[in-house]
Amino acid sequence: MASDPEDAELIVSSLSGDEDAFVELVRRHETAVGAYLARRVGRELAEDLLGEVWVAAFTSRANYDRSFPGARPWLFGVAHNAIRRHWRSRPAEQPVADVTPMASRWDPWAAVDSRIDAAPVLRHALAQLRPEQRELLTLVAWEDLTIADAGRVLGMPPGTARRSLHEARMALRHEPGVAALLTDQNMMRKAN
């Protein structure tokens, strides 16, 4: 039985004129890329940007490194660039977006644990990090990427990505608000 073609094969087919192959690639990853965008810019803008991401990916597919069979990190990279372009193109009088847009009105965390509102504390702590550290952390924690793949999204060698992630984790762990959260949560866990 023939197995499904790898992402890289679909990209190669699309370069040979098979447009359906690229649409198949998009179908495979649209939920993940959509969620990636929504976590960073909110649902509404994510819906606006998604088409732009596919067009940009299609336009630049000739540059895809075919030694990577899976294209999801590459697509995250394209989405990452689309978000950066979006923020860059905002007029100067508007505040440059940081992680604030992640604070969607739809926030299930509060329902999970109403006693401790961890989300604002974590968002504040994330905002203190350098952008690439923040992106690495969230790629690993939210998008379930390996450190190497997260580095690939950002064009970072695996060793650099590991080091940067470690630094980011330490910075996050020792941020006062997060440190307090960790203490509380671990104490509650112990008590239970």
- Chain residues in the site for another protein (CB under 8 A): 17, 19, 22-23, 26-27, 30-31, 34-35, 38-39, 42-43, 46-48, 50-56, 58-60, 86, 89-91, 94, 102, 104-109, 112, 118-119, 122-123, 137-138, 140-142, 169, 172-173, 178, 181-182, 185-186, 189
C-beta neighbour count of 26 within 10 angstroms = 18
CB of 160 to another protein, least distance (A): 19
- State which residue, 6 or 52, has the beta carbon closest to another protein: 52
Quick one: 34 exposed, middle or buried, by C-beta within 10 A (0-12, 13-18, 19+)? Answer: middle
Q: Is 168 in contact with 134 (CB distance < 8 Å)?
A: yes
Amino acid identity, position 70: G
- State which residue, 122 or 156, has the beta carbon closest to another protein: 122
CB of 156 to another protein, least distance (A): 18
CB of 77 to another protein, least distance (A): 14
CB of 1 to another protein, least distance (A): 28
- State which residue, 2 or 92, has the beta carbon closest to another protein: 92
Q: Is 168 in contact with 135 (CB distance < 8 Å)?
A: no
Please report, to the nearest 10 degrees, the dihedral formed by the alpha carbons of residues 132, 138, 141, 147 taken in order. -30
The beta-strand segments (E) located in 7-125 are: none
- State which residue, 67 or 110, has the beta carbon closest to another protein: 110
CB of 29 to another protein, least distance (A): 11
- State which residue, 2 or 111, has the beta carbon closest to another protein: 111
Q: List Cα–Cα distances, 106 to 48, 69, 102, 168, in angstroms.
A: 18, 35, 10, 27
